[in-house]
Amino acid sequence: MIKAVIFDMDGLLIDSEPFWRISQKNLFSKRGIDLNEHDFESFMGKRIDEVVAIIYSRYPNQAKTQAETAVEIVDGVIKLVQERGLALPGVLKTLETLQKQNYKIGLASSSNLRIIKSVLKKLEIESYFEVVHSAQFEEYGKPHPQIFISTAKMLNISPSECLVLEDSFHGVIAALAANMKCVAIPDVKANNLKRFVIADKVLESMEDFLISDLNN
């Protein structure tokens, strides 16, 4: 029986994926590096330090360190969150329903904790989450399952009693590898939507999420 629901954040609670793209594109275009849509889709669900490492492997000898570049990108995302951030459809209703029915609620995001706190504050949803965890504190990010395993442990719930809501394919892989049920809500514009068939259920929007989905 499902006792806890673990949410991803970027692209699930808030349409922040464009913010990541804007921040990364702006920074790297100034260095003469043009990132394309295929690049951005491959980055989804990964930690920013992992993304920067990938880019640096292709374009070495950058003037700034990977850590400095990651901080600049995070700063850019936070600025955009504060200026434009809105909760995606169905988010508030889902959180309210889960809380009223006494499900434990956690958040497990690949984003830096500074961004997580910025998003939760902007959307005014901090109070719904019993546990908030960032992959920056794990050795590996998604698609490695450790972030979800750690979040379940922090919630004091067995992984098999958790359901994950995810928008990224890397996140779905991580949730299933953690022995959790997973409902995928991918961007309808994403490439290769058929691959999300590995999730227990695929929805077009969180507005379509039902409590009955938890134990079906």
Q: Is the dihedral of CA 187, 189, 191, 193 positive or negative?
A: positive
Write the DSSP string, 151-185. HHHHHT--GGGEEEEESSHHHHHHHHHTT-EEEE-
How far is it, in rounded angstroms, from Cα 68 to Cα 8?
A: 25
Closest CA to 47 of 93, 108, 112, 94: 112
Catalytic residues: 8, 10
Structure-block tokens of residue 194: 């058929």
How far is it, in rounded angstroms, from Cα 134 to Cα 102?
A: 23
Structure-block tokens of residue 30: 């100034």
The phi, psi pair for 41, rounded to 5°, reads -65, -35
How far is it, in rounded angstroms, from Cα 109 to Cα 37?
A: 22
Report the 10 Å Cβ neighbour count for 63: 7
